[in-house]
Amino acid sequence: MSFKLFFLSTFKGLKNTPKVESKRDSLWADFQVYESIQESEDLKLYLELDHYVNSEAFKKERSETKALKFAGSPESKLISEYQKLEKDSQLKDFYVTQSSADFQKYQLLDQSENIREFVALRDFIQSAKYEEEKANFKAKQGKGGSEVFEETATYQKYETFQKLSKSEDVLFWKEFPGSKMYKNYKEMVNSPKRVRYEELKAEVESEAFEMRKAFLEDDNRWEKTAAFQKEKTYMELKNEPRFQVFEKYKKSNEFQFFQNHELLLEDHFEEGQLDGSKWKSISPMAENTVGKNFSKAGDLQAYTNGENILQTNSFLKLAVKQEKTDSLVWNFPIGFNPVSFDYSAGLLNSAQSYKVKSGVLEAKIKYQPNKQLVDLFYLSDDKNSFRLNLLESGTVCQFGVSEDKGSQSESLKGLAAGHFYIFRIEWGQGRICWKINNHEIYSVQQSVPDAPLRINMSSIVVEPPRELPHYFEVDWVRLYRKK
């Protein structure tokens, strides 16, 4: 298929320039966001939470927590057991006894000096020693002894014992252990029933148990869990625009171009004046020789030193004007001759820092061919011995490769005059490719010399133009270097 037929069939589906531009700008903005969070702690947290929230363990925990209820739970069974023991008559009597005044009195008496004395005397009176001393005394009396038993120390102990035995405290101390209340107390004090009751009481009255009970009774219990808080944090992050961008592109290769290329130069010409750090309005050869622009023999235009370079309404314009302009013409072997031209024009090239050996050049250019002129936008080495033409518009409309050993160009047909298009050229690894509005229209398998190429723009007057001034308009330029 000839190129013209290929081009015409291709342009039936050529994308709208504003849509292409908007999509690229949106993709670039998303790429900046995507790159900005790649090494962030927020992304690490998001990925951890994403793994956790989407795990089977989390889903199981959420399901089980929402299904929980107090009725029938181990906690409710503990309370039922506790309440049942709390109503037990033996245990109730035990605690009544334990807190009663009689029990407190008995406890105090049991440790008192009077009771200790009484017990000691009782043990003595009831002992064999007491009976032995009493028998010995009677034997002495039988032998004619004169001592009276009631005057002995043994009898004094007996008398003290009798007196204490009739005291209110001793009588109470002796009677209380025989009471029904105390017998129940002794039965319950170390019983398994009471031990279990005390265990249950300590548990159900604990703060932890109360919190667990409240949790089980809460219809919104899931929202009170640590797992829910992690889920909430995850959803908050996921709903942030930056993580929506991450989710959109994490498995995509749409950022491949930006990841493989470095944006070396970008200019939207919005400053109102030329950025001298990016552009020069004098050709490298002129700068290195006479210090000002000159024309070649046969040219009808003089190149001014920036006077024909305009920036208006965020557009770069290279103007061709009909005006007397004095300049120089290079004639080999004569050299430079002063000449007065009828037309002036502008040229522009990227500064020394903006040259690349392989990469991508794209520019949004108004396609405005004038048959008496040629507008040029191309890449070249410093000697201008090799050129990659992004666009040649005017007497002929074409693009291609120009070098000392010959040129190959392809005609450009089918574009609407007066409209902006995004022209793009990609070169490197033995292939050169041309695109318009991201649609590939031509490619060649050809190596590019191992030399850095710079951007060039200029206009040439081929024959006296009928309508002047003429403007070669550029909206923006981008130059990428292969990483």
Residue 79 CA from chain centroid, whole number? 46
pLDDT band for position 70 (50/70/90)?
very high
**CATH for the 264-482 domain, from 1.10.10.10, 3.30.70.20, 2.60.120.200, 3.20.20.140:** 2.60.120.200
Q: What average pLDDT does this structure show over 392-412?
A: 88
Q: What does the block give as tokens for 253?
A: 């290769």
Residues 168-175, mean pLDDT to the nearest whole number? 94
Q: What's the pLDDT at 448?
A: 86
Measured in whole angstroms, the distance separating CA 482 from the mean position of its chain's CA atoms is: 29
pLDDT at 6 over 60: no
Checking if the pLDDT of 11 tops 70, the result is no
Tell me the pLDDT tens digit for each residue of 322-362.
Answer: 999 999 999 888 889 999 999 999 999 998 889 999 999 99
Determine the Cα–Cα distance for residues 59 and 181; give it in Å rounded to an integer: 57
pLDDT the model gives residue 143: 67
Please list the residue range(s) of the chain that carry CATH number 2.60.120.200. Answer: 264-482
Give the pLDDT confidence of 446-470 residue by residue, as tens digits. 888 888 999 999 999 999 998 999 9
**Distance from C-alpha of 396 to C-alpha of 227, rounded to nearest angstrom:** 70
pLDDT band at 376 (very low <50, low <70, confident <90, very high): very high
Q: Greatest CA separation found in the chain?
A: 179
Q: Could you report the per-residue pLDDT of 289-306, keeping only the tens digit for each?
A: 899 999 999 999 999 999
Confidence of residue 9 (pLDDT cuts 50, 70, 90): very low
For 387-397, what is the mean pLDDT? 94
Q: Percent of the chain at pLDDT above 90? A: 77
What does the pLDDT look like over 205-250, one tens digit per residue? Answer: 999 999 999 999 999 999 999 999 999 999 999 999 999 999 999 9
Rounded to 5 degrees, φ, ψ at 471 are -125, 125
Higher pLDDT pick, 129 / 42: 42
pLDDT of 117 reads: 92
Specify the pTM: 0.72
Kindly tell me if the per-residue pLDDT of 8 is higher than 80. Answer: no
Q: Say if strands 295-296 and 315-331 run parallel, antiparallel, or are unpaired.
A: parallel
Q: Mean pLDDT throughout 254-270?
A: 95
pLDDT confidence of residue 7: 55
By the 8 A CB rule, do 378 and 453 touch?
no
Confidence class for position 37, pLDDT limits 50, 70, 90: very high
**One-letter amino acid for residue 225 of the chain:** T
pLDDT at 5: 38
Find the range with the poorest average confidence among 37-46, 148-157, 469-478.
Answer: 148-157
The whole-number pLDDT of residue 144 equals 61
With 0-12 / 13-18 / 19 or more C-beta atoms within 10 angstroms meaning exposed / middle / buried, residue 154 is: middle
Share above pLDDT 70 across residues of the chain, in percent, rounded to a whole number = 96
Left if phi > 0, otherwise alpha if psi is -120 to 50, otherwise beta: which for 324? Answer: beta
**What's the pLDDT at 137?**
80
More confident residue, 366 or 405: 366
pLDDT band at 146; cut points 50, 70, 90: low
Partner residues linked to 478 by β-bridges = 266, 362
Please provide the average confidence, as pLDDT, over all residues in the chain: 92
Residue type, 65: T
Q: Looking at 109-123, 187-201, 318-332, 395-409, which range is the least confident one?
A: 395-409
pLDDT value of residue 72: 93
> What gap in Å lies between CA 312 and CA 19, rounded to an integer?
23
What are the Cα distances from residue 348, in Å, to 57, 116, 340? 65, 121, 22
Secondary structure of the chain in the HEC alphabet? CCHHHHHHHHHCCCCCHHHHHHHHHHHHHHHHHHHHCCCCHHHHHHHHHHHHHCCHHHHHHHHHHHHCCCCCCHHHHHHHHHHHHHCCHHHHHHHHHHHCHHHHHHHHHHCCHHHHHHHHHHHHHCCHHHHHHHHHHHHHHHCCCCCCHHHCHHHHHHHHHHHHHCCHHHHHHHHHHHCHHHHHHHHHCCCHHHHHHHHHHHHHCCHHHHHHHHHHHCCCHHHHCHHHHHHHHHHHHHCCHHHHHHHHHCCCCCCHHHHHEEEEEEECCCCCCCCCCCEECCCHHHHHCCCCCCEECCCCEEECCCCCEEEECCEEEEEEEEEEEEEEEEECCCEEEEEEEEEEECEEEECCCCEECCEEEEEEEEECCCCCEEEEEEEECCCCCEEEEEEEEECCCEEEEEECCEEEEEECCCCCCCEEEEEEEEEECCEEEEEECCEEEEEECCCCCCCCEEEEEEEEECCCCCCCCEEEEEEEEEEEEEC
